[in-house]
């Protein structure tokens, strides 16, 4: 049996390119960026815009829905007023007009919408496909080491917004970032973290601190080695960021392993698009079951190993935790075989020694890990070791980054 993994994206549609006799309007050189002519054409089932050397298409219901006039849109709150449910799904403009910078459409009820052409181009599907993906530097150990990413220091980090911005920029580029010279207490770790975002409380607590006392039903609370993994893959939305601060270690071993999961995912894509597709389309489960006596925790998270944006295949979450991966029971046996092949391919990439960045966390050095991208692990250790930290929600960290003017 041949299982087809083909999805419906982009939605197959038969576009009839019938130029509308009312409007084929040509402008020359009004766009300072592209220096290209724009051409607007009303087709039967969509509006076509040639702009900046690209052809873009806009559905008529979409155009009505995206009217930014004061009655349709509240520009103070950036919220839509228009009831999308009231738009005739076969709506067409009755009149059109174009000037140097704007398109004007008159709708059957007489309402006129003005669209800035540059705004349309920026917000088109084709424009999104062309737009740069989130700027990132995919790394292996050599790339990261050679980049000599400057770490920031506690005092400046706490007082200077530019320092926070540099830190967040590095975090967005590499998926890891360090703050040095932080006083080795839980309270100061919390203070440094709150500079970045609000804290995500989970069943592990808000700020947590752990040793090898097996106080929780998880291997993290032992002295054993932990292979590379992402945390909380058993949440429907895995924690976006993990913060670690090693407050004490009297003993040997216990180094931290970091691996850029997106670097390996990209290698899989380059070498086998089929394996990449399996990893991005087959949903699997991760599960956490713990009985504390006083409380039982049972978490289940469902999602593919690689979550990708359907319009450009950009990976945005990797869930990879072989310890916490649950029974696979939602995939037919022949796909399971192909999935294991794909999973092995990714595992082989993730395990290449050249992809491993080893760091010894010391008191004062706070590590922020993008838990949707960078895997962590640890070497086994001897002696007393105490680590504290917390989880952050990705939205909140990106919110801070955007407020400082970063693309995120
Ligand atoms: C970080 N902290 C010690 C609080 C929890 C560790 C959770 C470990 C779990 N196996 C996972 O990967 O999610
Ligand atoms: O002990 C460590 O260094 C990390 C353990 C771990 O993977 C975790 O707490 O999530
Ligand atoms: Fe972990």
Instruction: Give the tens place of pLDDT for each residue, 214-256.
Output: 999 899 999 999 999 999 999 999 999 999 999 999 999 999 9
Of 252, 256, 376, 377, the one to substitute when testing ligand 2's pocket (max ligand atoms within 8 A of C-beta) is: 376
Task: Among 95, 130, 165, give the residue marking a domain's end.
Answer: 130
Examine residue 14 and state whether it is found in any structural domain, yes or no.
no
Region 305-327 average pLDDT:
95
Judgement on whether residues 160 and 118 belong to the same structural domain of the protein:
no
Percent of the chain having pLDDT more than 90? 83
Judgement on whether residues 157 and 121 belong to the same structural domain of the protein:
no
Here the CATH number for the domain that contains residue 233 is: 3.60.130.10
Atom of ligand 1 nearest to the CA of 204: 4
Which bound ligand lies closest to the C-alpha atom of 232? Answer: 1
Closest to 139 (Cα-Cα) out of 356, 319, 343, 348: 356
| Rounded (10°) angle between helices 261-271 and 333-350 | 120
Judgement on whether residues 164 and 273 belong to the same structural domain of the protein:
yes
Of 217, 227, 238, 244, the one to substitute when testing ligand 2's pocket (max ligand atoms within 8 A of C-beta) is: 244
Closest to 269 (Cα-Cα) out of 342, 217, 329: 342
Task: Among 130, 163, 184, give the residue marking a domain's end.
Answer: 130
Q: How far is CA 299 from CA 232, 286, 287, 334, in A?
A: 9, 8, 6, 28
Region 188-195 average pLDDT:
98
Judgement on whether residues 61 and 116 belong to the same structural domain of the protein:
yes
| Rounded CA separation 92/85 (Å) | 16
C-beta of 239 in contact with ligand 2 (< 6 A): no
Q: How far is CA 314 from CA 126, 136, 273, 310, 317, in A?
A: 15, 11, 13, 8, 10
Here the CATH number for the domain that contains residue 79 is: 3.30.2020.30
Q: Containing domain of residue 161, as a range? A: 141-404
Instruction: Give the tens place of pLDDT for each residue, 336-370.
Output: 999 999 999 999 999 999 999 999 999 999 999 99
Task: Among 82, 104, 130, give the residue marking a domain's end.
Answer: 130
Examine residue 21 and state whether it is found in any structural domain, yes or no.
no
Atom of ligand 1 nearest to the CA of 229: 12
Does position 34 have pLDDT exceeding 70, yes or no?
A: no
Examine residue 201 and state whether it is found in any structural domain, yes or no.
yes
Instruction: Give the tens place of pLDDT for each residue, 192-212.
Output: 999 999 999 999 999 999 999
What does the mean pLDDT of the chain come to? 91
Does position 7 have pLDDT exceeding 70, yes or no?
A: no
Confidence (pLDDT) at 31: 36
> Residue 388 C-alpha to ligand 3 middle, in angstroms?
12
Of residues 150 and 30, more confidence is placed in 150
Confidence (pLDDT) at 37: 63
Atom of ligand 1 nearest to the CA of 219: 10
Judgement on whether residues 259 and 399 belong to the same structural domain of the protein:
yes
Confidence (pLDDT) at 208: 98
Examine residue 3 and state whether it is found in any structural domain, yes or no.
no
Does position 96 have pLDDT exceeding 80, yes or no?
A: yes
Does position 26 have pLDDT exceeding 80, yes or no?
A: no
Neighbours of 22 (CB within 10 A): 11
- Determine which helix (DSSP H) or strand (DSSP E) holds 271, and give its type and residue range: helix 261-271
- Determine which helix (DSSP H) or strand (DSSP E) holds 290, and give its type and residue range: strand 284-291
Q: pLDDT-derived band of residue 1, with 50, 70 and 90 as boundaries?
A: very low
Q: How far is CA 352 from CA 9, 143, 259, 349, 357, in A?
A: 33, 14, 10, 5, 11
Judgement on whether residues 271 and 383 belong to the same structural domain of the protein:
yes
Instruction: Give the tens place of pLDDT for each residue, 155-178.
Output: 999 999 999 999 999 999 999 999
Q: Whose CA is nearest to atom 4 of ligand 1?
A: 204
Region 89-109 average pLDDT:
94
| Rounded CA separation 302/290 (Å) | 18
Task: For ligand 3, an ion, list residues with CB under 5 A.
Answer: 231
> pTM of the predicted model, to two decimals?
0.90
Neighbours of 251 (CB within 10 A): 12
Does position 303 have pLDDT exceeding 50, yes or no?
A: yes
Judgement on whether residues 239 and 260 belong to the same structural domain of the protein:
yes
Judgement on whether residues 120 and 184 belong to the same structural domain of the protein:
no
Confidence (pLDDT) at 311: 86
Q: Of 14-18, 101-105, 197-201, which range is least confident?
A: 14-18
Examine residue 23 and state whether it is found in any structural domain, yes or no.
no
> Residue 245 C-alpha to ligand 3 middle, in angstroms?
13
Confidence (pLDDT) at 156: 98
Examine residue 17 and state whether it is found in any structural domain, yes or no.
no
Number of domains in the chain: 2
Q: Whose CA is nearest to atom 9 of ligand 1?
A: 231
Instruction: Give the tens place of pLDDT for each residue, 127-159.
Output: 888 776 788 999 999 999 999 999 899 999 999
Examine residue 96 and state whether it is found in any structural domain, yes or no.
yes
Neighbours of 47 (CB within 10 A): 24
């Amino acid at each position: 049996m041949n299982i087809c993994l083909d999805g419906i994206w982009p939605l197959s549609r038969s576009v009839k390119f019938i130029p509308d006799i009312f409007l084929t309007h040509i402008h020359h050189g009004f766009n300072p960026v592209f220096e290209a002519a724009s051409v607007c054409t009303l087709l039967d089932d969509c509006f076509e815009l040639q702009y900046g050397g690209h052809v873009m298409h806009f559905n008529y219901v979409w155009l009505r829905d995206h009217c930014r006039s004061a009655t349709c849109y509240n520009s103070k709150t950036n919220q839509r007023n228009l009831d999308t449910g009231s738009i005739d799904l076969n709506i067409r403009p009755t009149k059109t007009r174009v000037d140097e910078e704007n398109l004007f459409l008159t709708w059957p009820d007489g309402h006129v919408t003005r669209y800035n052409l540059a705004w349309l181009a920026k917000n088109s599907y084709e424009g999104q496909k062309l737009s740069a993906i989130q700027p990132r530097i995919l790394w292996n150990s050599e790339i990261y080491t050679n980049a000599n990413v400057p770490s920031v220091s506690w005092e400046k980090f706490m007082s200077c917004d530019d320092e926070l911005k540099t830190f967040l920029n590095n975090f967005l580029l590499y998926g890891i970032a360090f703050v040095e010279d932080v006083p080795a207490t839980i309270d100061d770790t919390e203070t440094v973290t709150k500079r970045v975002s609000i804290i995500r409380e989970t069943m592990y607590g808000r700020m947590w601190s752990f040793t090898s006392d097996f106080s929780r039903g998880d291997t993290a609370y032992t002295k054993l080695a932990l292979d590379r993994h992402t945390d909380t893959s058993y949440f429907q939305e895995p924690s976006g960021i993990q913060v670690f601060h090693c407050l004490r270690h009297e003993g040997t071993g216990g180094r931290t392993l970091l691996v850029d999961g997106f670097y390996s995912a990209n290698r899989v894509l380059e070498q086998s698009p089929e394996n990449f597709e399996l990893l991005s389309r087959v949903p699997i489960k991760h599960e956490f079951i713990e009985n504390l006596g006083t409380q039982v925790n049972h978490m289940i998270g469902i999602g593919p190993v690689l979550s990708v944006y359907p319009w450009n295949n950009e990976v945005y979450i990797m869930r990879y935790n072989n310890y916490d991966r649950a029974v696979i029971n939602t995939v037919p046996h022949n796909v399971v075989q192909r999935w294991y092949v794909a999973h092995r391919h990714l595992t082989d990439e993730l395990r290449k020694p050249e992809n491993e960045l080893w760091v010894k966390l010391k008191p004062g050095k706070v590590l922020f890990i993008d838990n949707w991208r960078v895997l962590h692990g640890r070497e086994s250790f001897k002696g007393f070791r105490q680590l504290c930290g917390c989880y952050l929600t990705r939205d909140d960290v990106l919110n801070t980054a955007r407020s400082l003017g970063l693309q995120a």
